């Protein structure tokens, strides 16, 4: 950790120790203006962090990290196209993918990348228009009714999550499916619902060599060819890749390949042609609104001071909970069924980005990074794991997301959904003492001895920190801003922790081992040299 950051860090540690006995219900009782002091708004959004275990002094100390870690300098380096992914020698310019054409250049290696970005976006727009207008037809002359995206990781989770999130905006005559798992059950059960003559496959792989994606693609190709013949491939497959040679060998016309660039990390690639299935699902106009929302959040992150900066505040609060209060996890609780895949998407974004053991100099870190992220859409989670959060004795910072307006407006639903969301935050903050429980039971007519017996079981410790993010509604613009919010949160944390959030060598190591073991499982190589467990497992799978 850099010396200046260490000084601020030590001050926060002393502050945490001094306030270790504070309870949230007492902090609210002592300050009628606590909500006003510890909440902020942006573009009709509200971020309420008054239920976090912080005071205004805590926030002042945390916000000092913004400057001492030189977040403004790192933001400038990212925007200038510097190779801030220093272990791979790459820039991290996902912000360019949603940068408007009339807002000036974004430079990389001495060239403005924006003409290439908008060339690909225009190509996407034409393709979506062709599918929606039924101009693009399959080999038998029939229109396309089903899109199957075959990818994995960032080539799957982003568009899959966003397609579900924006189901209220879906095209009425198209169904979009996602296949990622190497397990044949994923592809086979999807194909069982489809007709080859109406199906278009989008193969999403930057290198066109990703093992899981290319195996699924090969099986999908065989399924199609078996029904329609070899010549049909060109009308039923398109690619999102930069490896045009492999695309052509697969049988896809390179004119139907959509490009993206090595300065776009997989988990940051939704905004590129990786978002093609999403654009097909909701229409290109809505995809443009998604990009506009992300760009609006970019501008907010770049310009807002730390006390008003939503990504920065979320980053600082997580650092406080993780590094100073000892929380090793965080639960994400979107009170929106449409955002049901958001926890999975953010698991990849946050844990793959910031789950690192060394700093930018290659030295072991002296603090933890990237708490475990988990979660589920409310109210489902209330009937699953909330018991643990309320009474399990673990420190579990909670992050609620809700919308003022419903995306599917069935009468009687949304008011109850909001009531549950806000009630959970209040209950987690306030808790209920044994004396309060006893008094409540007695007031309900229970005998004193029975109330005394049951009070310990029905009491809640409370003091569980939470944040609530309230959006106006779930639409393409606000979804784009929400996802960009978390991208910038991750980046802000990485700067303070002094780590590289844009590589993922742990993932690559597993791929290397799998490639070696495949040859052994297939009987093409010897198991000599393997540890006894791995060798035993392979042997147990042989006929």
Q: Known catalytic residues?
A: 352, 383, 511
How far, in Å, CA of 147 to CA of 198, rounded?
9
Say if residues 495 and 92 touch (Cβ distance below 8 Å): no
Phi, psi of 258 (to 5 degrees): -105, 130
How far, in Å, CA of 72 to CA of 489, rounded?
14
Coil, strand, or helix at residue 461? coil
Give the contacts of 442 (CB within 8 A, at least 6 positions apart): 448, 451
If we measure between CA atoms, which residue out of 254, 338, 365 comes closest to residue 9?
365
Coil, strand, or helix at residue 206? coil
How far, in Å, CA of 188 to CA of 165, rounded?
25
How far, in Å, CA of 201 to CA of 67, rounded?
47
How far, in Å, CA of 68 to CA of 2, rounded?
9
Give the contacts of 461 (CB within 8 A, at least 6 positions apart): 391, 393, 431
Distances (CA, A) of 372 to 337, 367, 369, 407: 22, 15, 9, 29
Distances (CA, A) of 498 to 5, 70, 72, 198, 356: 10, 10, 14, 50, 10
Q: Which residues of 280-319 are buried (b: 16+ CB within 10 A; e: fewer)?
A: bbbbbebbbbbbebbbbbbebbeebebeebbbbbbbbbbb
How far, in Å, CA of 354 to CA of 356, rounded?
5
Q: Which two tokens stand for residue 439?
A: 């008094």
If we measure between CA atoms, which residue out of 347, 340, 438, 342 comes closest to residue 380?
340
What angle, 0 to 180 degrees and rounded to 10, lies between the N-to-C axes of helices 505-521 and 211-228?
60
């Amino acid at each position: 950790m850099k010396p200046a950051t260490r000084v601020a860090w030590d001050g926060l540690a002393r502050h945490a120790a001094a306030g270790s006995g504070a309870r949230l219900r007492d902090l609210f009782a002592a300050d009628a203006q606590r909500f006003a002091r510890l909440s902020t708004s942006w573009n009709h959004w509200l971020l309420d962090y008054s239920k976090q275990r912080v005071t205004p002094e805590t926030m002042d100390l945390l916000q000092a990290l913004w400057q001492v870690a030189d977040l403004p300098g790192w933001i400038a380096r990212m925007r200038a196209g510097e190779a801030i992914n220093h272990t791979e020698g790459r820039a991290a310019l996902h912000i360019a993918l949603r940068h408007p054409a009339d807002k000036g250049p974004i430079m990389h290696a001495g060239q403005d990348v924006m003409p290439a970005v908008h060339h690909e976006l225009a190509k996407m727009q034409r393709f979506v228009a062709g599918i929606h207008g039924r101009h693009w037809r399959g080999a038998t002359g029939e229109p396309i009714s089903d899109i199957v995206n075959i990818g994995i990781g960032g080539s799957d989770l982003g568009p899959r999550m966003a397609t579900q999130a924006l189901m209220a905006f879906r095209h009425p005559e198209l169904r979009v499916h996602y296949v990622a798992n190497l397990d044949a059950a994923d592809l086979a059960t999807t194909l069982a619902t489809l007709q080859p003559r109406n199906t278009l496959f989008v193969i999403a792989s930057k290198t066109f060599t990703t093992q899981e994606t290319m195996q699924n693609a090969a099986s999908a190709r065989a399924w199609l060819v078996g029904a329609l013949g070899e010549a049909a491939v060109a009308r039923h497959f398109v690619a999102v890749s930069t490896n045009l040679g492999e695309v052509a060998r697969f049988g896809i016309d390179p004119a139907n390949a959509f490009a993206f660039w090595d300065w776009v990390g997989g988990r940051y690639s939704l905004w590129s042609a990786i978002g093609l299935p999403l654009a097909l699902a909701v229409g290109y106009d809505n995809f443009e609104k998604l990009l506009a929302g992300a760009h609006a959040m970019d501008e907010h992150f770049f310009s807002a001071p730390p006390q008003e900066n939503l990504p920065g505040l979320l980053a600082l609060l997580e650092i406080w909970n993780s590094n100073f209060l000892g929380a090793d996890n965080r639960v994400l609780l979107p009170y929106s069924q449409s955002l049901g895949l958001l926890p999975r998407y953010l698991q990849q974004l946050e844990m793959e980005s910031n789950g690192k053991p060394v700093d930018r100099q290659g030295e072991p870190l002296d603090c933890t990074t990237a708490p475990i992220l988990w979660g589920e859409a409310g109210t489902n989670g209330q009937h699953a794991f909330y018991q643990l959060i309320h009474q399990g004795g673990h420190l579990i910072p909670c992050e609620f997301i809700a919308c003022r307006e419903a995306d599917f407006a069935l009468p009687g639903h949304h008011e109850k959904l909001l009531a549950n969301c806000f009630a959970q935050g209040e209950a987690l903050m306030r808790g209920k003492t044994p004396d309060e429980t006893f008094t409540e039971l007695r007031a309900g007519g229970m005998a004193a001895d029975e109330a005394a017996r049951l009070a310990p079981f029905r009491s809640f410790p409370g003091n569980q920190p939470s944040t609530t993010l309230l959006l106006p509604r779930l639409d393409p613009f606000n979804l784009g801003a929400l996802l960009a919010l978390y991208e910038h949160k991750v980046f802000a944390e990485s700067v303070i922790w002094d780590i590289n959030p844009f590589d993922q060598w742990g993932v690559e190591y597993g791929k290397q081992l799998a490639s070696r073991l495949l040859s052994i499982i297939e009987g093409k190589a010897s198991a000599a040299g393997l540890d006894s467990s791995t060798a035993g497992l392979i042997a147990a799978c042989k006929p």
